[in-house]
Amino acid sequence: MNNSTRLRRFAAPLALIAAAALLPATAVMAGKDKHKDDHVEARELLRRGEILPLDHILDIAQRRVAGDVIEVELEREDEGWEYEVKVLTPTGLVRKITLNARNGAVVKIKDD
């Protein structure tokens, strides 16, 4: 992977998403031993305006692809921070929506 730092928040059914949306943006870094401090980094990114709150991202994703959110990842890419939101559609298809974490612009939508 291209030196990207991967932040993962959860893989959860839609019922848990509602609870998570109450938090502005929290995440856990994959591949690191210090998982407990990763939410601190995500909150700092939010405070500095580098990422949008998770509830805002989920709203954008749900407007683009209907279904149940089953996973959200926050990743550092060469272009900046991106959210990847996986949605299980009513037809059973899993779609991955990649969004610019700073402004919420949809970068791409693809079948996963």
| Of 107, 103, 109, the residue nearest 87 (C-alpha) | 109
Burial class from Cβ neighbours inside 10 Å (0-12, 13-18, 19+) for residue 42 reads buried
CATH code for 6-111? 3.10.450.40
Q: Where are the domains of the chain?
A: 6-111
Burial class from Cβ neighbours inside 10 Å (0-12, 13-18, 19+) for residue 77 reads middle
Decide if pLDDT at 9 tops 90.
Answer: no
9 vs 37: CA distance, rounded Å: 12
- Single pTM value for the model: 0.69
| pLDDT over 70 percentage in the chain | 68
pLDDT per residue as tens digits for the range 73-87? 999 999 999 999 999
Tokens of 79: 């272009």
